[in-house]
Amino acid sequence: MHRTGVLCGLACILLPVTLVEGGPPAIPAPEHPVTAPQSITSPVNPSARPIPIEDLFHTKTVAGPTWSPDGKWIAFTTNITGRLNLWKVPSEGGWPIQMGVSDDRQLAPAWSPDGKWIVYQQDKGGNEIYDLFAVPSDGGEPVNLTRTDVISETSPHWSPRGEVLAIGYKPRTASAVDLGLLDWSTRRVRNLTQEKTPDHVWNFVAWSPDGKSMYAVRANAGFTDADVYRIDVQSGDQKSLTAHQGEVVYTASSASPDGKTLLIGSNKKNGVPNVALLDLATGRKSWVTDLKWEAQSGDFSPDGKWFTYQVNIDGRLSVYLRNTASGHAERLALPEGLNGLAGTPSAFSPDGGRLLISHQSSNRPADFWIYDRQTGKPKQLTFSALASLNPIGITGGSYGGFMTLMGIGKTPDVWAAGVEMFGIINWFSMLQHEDPLLQQYQKSLLGDPVKAHEVCENCSPLKYIRQATAPLLVLQARTTSVCRKKRPSR
């Protein structure tokens, strides 16, 4: 998500902050009971037909949206031409304009504060070693800002004045992911966090209003333990804002415009992710939700008077808008399904009057919608499918490819077709060839493959794939640091 050598001789400063319960009453858990999976039945449609393979190919992907500073445009990634390239679309709706043309994927765009540039990440031949590029927002020749073959720079986030960008920083052979800084004028990159623990990663959250510090999350590879930090941009000094004992997950997603509050999430309260406000001066934590359902923090509005969060209730994701002062919250009127906040650095439009939403459901692929706060109505912005897909197919890439292979192998009668992209077929061979960071993550999920041989075998699609009866299309890149071609070919 997010962000020479001054740091080499410095020790990290970790100052714990005591978090005190308090604030407005948290929202109580909804009465909705957990649905037993065995009780779910699907309606029968006698006129249903298999999905034509042409329809699957015409269903496109949208990802990584970012508002222009004037709120008139949204830049995003889509494969409308067959390649994941950079596009922009009027926020009021209309046909998108292609901003980048490449056989390589272009991801995570970030619009500069002055509106003149869009910075994004691009790799080579699917190798996942990304460089950062900049393209004029009115169109023009892209410029490679980093030009590094052995370091992956990702997830750019502009500072408030547009002088530097916080970026993800990962050498090819490293398992840890750091935060770096890219100087916009000199193009110089420096590693800010200098992580020493091999199984930990940093994710950018937000800049302070003055741009002198940033907020970030440091987590272990399995994401069973995480803390929120404030990092001084000049010195690199790190201050833990959520120090704790044992394995607890603390995350953050947004800083208030006045720089006094962080919107955070944690499973500390009851073992389930809930949302809270963290007072940066006192360390006081005020719970926003008290749910048995998973809640995820969102964004502060540009004026700080409102903030958003999401709640997963029984497998359906809803978006809520809450008044910062009164604590009153309302659920946004959106189509049923999976509704998530979208947009970097915020889902709010620059004037705060609109919200960018990602919506998908069982018969609609993911698309962007604009929610108008004045009218209370959503409007679809992108259109990724020819029509609603009523017969059930399954598709996904990487981990989604693994789920596709498991789905058609373990439940062959459910699916009309499958499209698997660079997925995991065998966890044993995956561990031998994958990126060092993913090796740490896999071990945190499944354990050591020698000691947990049966677990890894039972979780590998290779064990079940011969039971598949649905047509399966396998798409595999020639080179990638994650999944090797020889595994799908098995």
DSSP 249-278: BEEEEEE-TTSSEEEEEESTTTSS-EEEEE
User: What does the alpha-carbon distance between residue 292 and residue 5 come to, in Å, rounded to a whole number?
Assistant: 46
- Token pair belonging to 196: 């020493």
70 lies in a domain?
Answer: no
Structural domain boundaries, residue 435: 394-489
165 close to 155: Cβ distance less than 8 angstroms: no
395 close to 384: Cβ distance less than 8 angstroms: no
480 lies in a domain?
Answer: yes
316 lies in a domain?
Answer: no
**What percentage of the chain has pLDDT greater than the value 70?**
89
Q: Beta strand 472-475 with 418-421: parallel, antiparallel or unpaired?
A: parallel
398 lies in a domain?
Answer: yes
Residue-wise pLDDT tens digits, 244-259: 999 999 999 999 999 9
Q: Which residue has the tokens 């201050």?
A: 239
When comparing pLDDT for 21 and 254, which is higher?
254
430 lies in a domain?
Answer: yes
pTM attached to this predicted model: 0.79
Strands (E), 29-144: 62-67, 73-78, 85-90, 97-98, 106-111, 117-122, 131-136, 143-144
CATH for 435: 3.40.50.1820
473 lies in a domain?
Answer: yes
Number of separate domains in the chain:
1
191 lies in a domain?
Answer: no
Which pLDDT value is given to residue 6?
27
- Token pair belonging to 459: 């979780």
389 close to 363: Cβ distance less than 8 angstroms: yes
User: What does the alpha-carbon distance between residue 275 and residue 267 come to, in Å, rounded to a whole number?
Assistant: 9
Residue-wise pLDDT tens digits, 99-131: 999 999 999 999 999 999 999 999 999 899 999
For residue 171, whether the previous peptide bond is cis, meaning omega lies within 30 degrees of 0, is no
438 lies in a domain?
Answer: yes
332 close to 355: Cβ distance less than 8 angstroms: yes
Which pLDDT value is given to residue 72?
98
| HSE value, Cβ hemisphere, 13 Å, CA-based, for 53 | 7
State the average pLDDT over residues 285-294.
94
